[in-house]
Amino acid sequence: MKVFLVALLIGGIVTYFFAYKFDKRIITEALEPKVTYFYVGSYNNLDIAQNKKNNYQNALIYNDKGIYKIIIGVYQDKDVINLMRSYFNDLGIKYQEEEMKINSDFIKAIEAYQLLIKSSEVSYYESINNSILKVFNTYLEPYYK
């Protein structure tokens, strides 16, 4: 048993050393937090995306490498993601989900909102979701300039 633990420890140290020494990106990418965002359409043309966005109050347009996605929600907590799936399904909204790596500052900024979603009634979800989208929009603004 001791031999196994020592071998495991040495293997972990060697792996960390090589990953850190030769490619620091591997470690930083593994540690970056991810969020799940819900979107209702993706378009190659900004004008079309803006027209479709008008169908969804408080949605925002996210430029993902030339593809314009209409975002209706962004969450990190797994329980909140499940609650919002149910919420959007109940509203009859056809959506898709995707993950993105994001700065941990954004996660900290929406923690309180996610707690509110978990502890609130469904009637408050839209208001809380709008607040999260505003925070997400301010997070994205520097990337569009």
Task: Tell me the per-residue pLDDT of 65-82, one tens digit each, with 9 for 90 and over.
Answer: 889 999 999 999 999 999
Tell whether 50 and 80 lie within a shared domain.
Answer: yes
Q: Which CATH number fits the domain that encloses residue 46? A: 3.30.70.1070
Same domain? For 82 and 41 the reply is: yes
The percent of residues in the chain predicted with pLDDT above 70, rounded, is 86
Q: Is the pLDDT of residue 14 over 70?
A: yes
Do 54 and 94 share a structural domain?
yes
- Return the pLDDT at 99: 93
Indicate if 128 and 75 belong to the same structural domain. yes
- On the question of pLDDT at 144 being above 80, the answer is no
Separation CA 93–CA 72 (nearest Å): 10
Same domain, 96 and 108: yes
Residues 50 and 85 in one domain: yes
Residue 16 — pLDDT band, cuts 50, 70, 90?
A: confident
The reply to whether 62 and 76 lie within a common domain is yes
Q: Are 15 and 51 contained in the same domain?
A: no
Going by pLDDT thresholds of 50, 70 and 90, the confidence category of residue 8 is: confident
Domain that holds residue 19: 1-31
Domain co-membership, 22 together with 56: no
Closest to 40 in 3D by CA, of 85, 10, 82, 72: 72
Q: Of 20, 30, 91, 84, whose CA–CA distance to 55 is shortest? A: 91
Residues 93 and 54 in one domain: yes
pLDDT digits (tens, 9 = 90+) for 101-133: 888 888 999 999 999 999 999 999 999 999 999
pLDDT bucket at 27, cuts 50 / 70 / 90: low
Give how many domains the chain has, as a whole number.
2
